[in-house]
Structure 1
């Protein structure tokens, strides 16, 4: 009668190999016997040889041994200190350069930098301008004034806040790749567009806004510059826009924020603030 088609687990196969080994059979005899009985479901010849060699050493356990996983890399404290010093001396030094100097692997350097020293490379953040000590002190004083105003009127702080800024706007600004995305069926050709560039012509736009939206957008005439008199008229337009959009807001008081450009800090502007009931 043919033997039934039965699959043995790895542990069961090892128990069978152990039993046949204790009966005095060799590795080849054990393999041939299990091949006849289990056919393709039996262990390979190399597996039988490995387990028979283990049994010969007196190790008869058929359980799987615990796998410790990848061994941790050993890091010499002196190497850590040297790498830390090199980073402090040159913040932009490459990991490959450190590995070359210390004659260790790039992987080891990355492990020390990221996991031991807990350090990562950050790109420089662009700032609008480089401030000197006086400008920094001025901003600190203005920030403290805004903070005190916030503490005094926390609930209505945002309702009183009005700010402005100036920016260059190109007469033609091509759409970005994300803006040109279209919904298409699978297999449809990709949309195409001609390569275009921003126009050389551009204009300065002065924008006033508060928490509820834009109050005023004014475009400077081509060839003109922003002067104190122009900015005074701009504040008058902002006042009218504020009155027409949010009636009663000026009577409650407005906290007006702006940069410290020379045309914004002229004496005539201070008098205009008093007329417009704008307080800073």
Structure 2
């Protein structure tokens, strides 16, 4: 088996008295299409943010490409580039689509503005949105905003080999979308894995179609721990009670969903 791209060991994280992660372990390998599952409030988005370096764990170790990272990105540079697609797209309302997609390069590179515009337009074409760079986020549908955030995630500086993203982190990319828009986003995730040069991704999702289409390997989080992990073909035959309850949507089982949601 290949060496892990990302490895989390004994990760714990609490917000006040609420313990979200409690000694969780997670490994992501090159070429992985990992779906992180679990009820709301079980730390799925938190674990993505810890991977990305946006949050520091309270306890545990984070290894990126075999190198231990201490804290968050405020005091440590990732040895690889990661890009994150946030649940609500996280676009700047006051900036145009072109300015949103090219924001990092405008702020952190010496590339000419016209070169950045050309790169932005290339990525907008990749995500199926050519010619919309002049629009503002308020003029876009929910699905279009998601695709704009995808274009931002895969934009890189062609003059800097270290700027190529090695992993894409998707936080509920199909949340709030109609079935057709969800299918378009699921197709785009698969296409970007094939064609963007970034073959590895981890995705947090509740949506059954997204789990089926975009999760080749799956982990189920509950009460701060990984309760099950495996591949899609094992879902139908697994007798794991946490997995059975989650996939069936039953209120009966080991997951105390009523208590968790109150």
Greater radius of gyration (CA): 1
Structure (1/2) with the larger helix percentage: 1
TM (norm. structure 2) is 0.29
Query: TM-score normalized by structure 1?
Result: 0.28
More strand by share: 2
